[in-house]
Amino acid sequence: MQTFALHIRRLPGTLLVATLMATSALATPHRLVAQDTTAVYDQEDVTTPPQLTSKRKASEILRRVYPEKLQQVGIEGSAQIAVIVGTDGKVESGSSEIVSATVAAFGTAGKDAVEKFEFKPGLLKGTPVRVRVLVPLAFKVR
């Protein structure tokens, strides 16, 4: 930007105005993209990724969906569920996807659980945006 300002000082007045206007027009689309409410960002592309509002509540939800038959025989496992967290911090309906699960039932249960989780929304330069999140889950017998 400073180099650009030095270059502008050497230009005639009418050309200066034209150059500044062209630069302003080129910068505008970048601002619009950053504020696009329909775009879905990856966690590493946002300033602040979504965060669970309550780990305790998430643990309670996970405990309630633990497959009963697996719990009775002492089988533990894990699942990874990908979801889109909306600008309101809620998991968007229909966005959950089982990425992996040690047992298929843990994937299904994990998907049901994560859809009920509540998050603080992800932020891009202070603005809430939609963010794709990978949620790792551990099913432990207690």
- The rounded distance, in Å, linking the Cα atoms of 59 and 28 is 44
Model's pTM, two decimal places? Answer: 0.73
Predicted pLDDT at 142: 82
Predicted pLDDT at 18: 29
**Domains plus CATH for the chain?**
2-34 (no CATH), 40-139 (3.30.2420.10)
Three-state DSSP class for 122? strand
Question: Could you report how far apart the first and last alpha carbons of the chain are, in Å?
Answer: 59
Per the structure block, which two tokens stand in for 1? Answer: 């930007």
In tens, the pLDDT along 39-67 reads 999 999 999 999 999 999 999 999 999 99
Q: From first to last of its 142 residues, what are the pLDDT tens digits of the chain?
A: 322 222 233 333 433 332 333 333 333 333 344 456 689 999 999 999 999 999 999 999 999 999 999 999 999 999 999 999 999 999 999 999 999 999 999 999 999 999 999 999 999 999 999 999 999 999 999 8
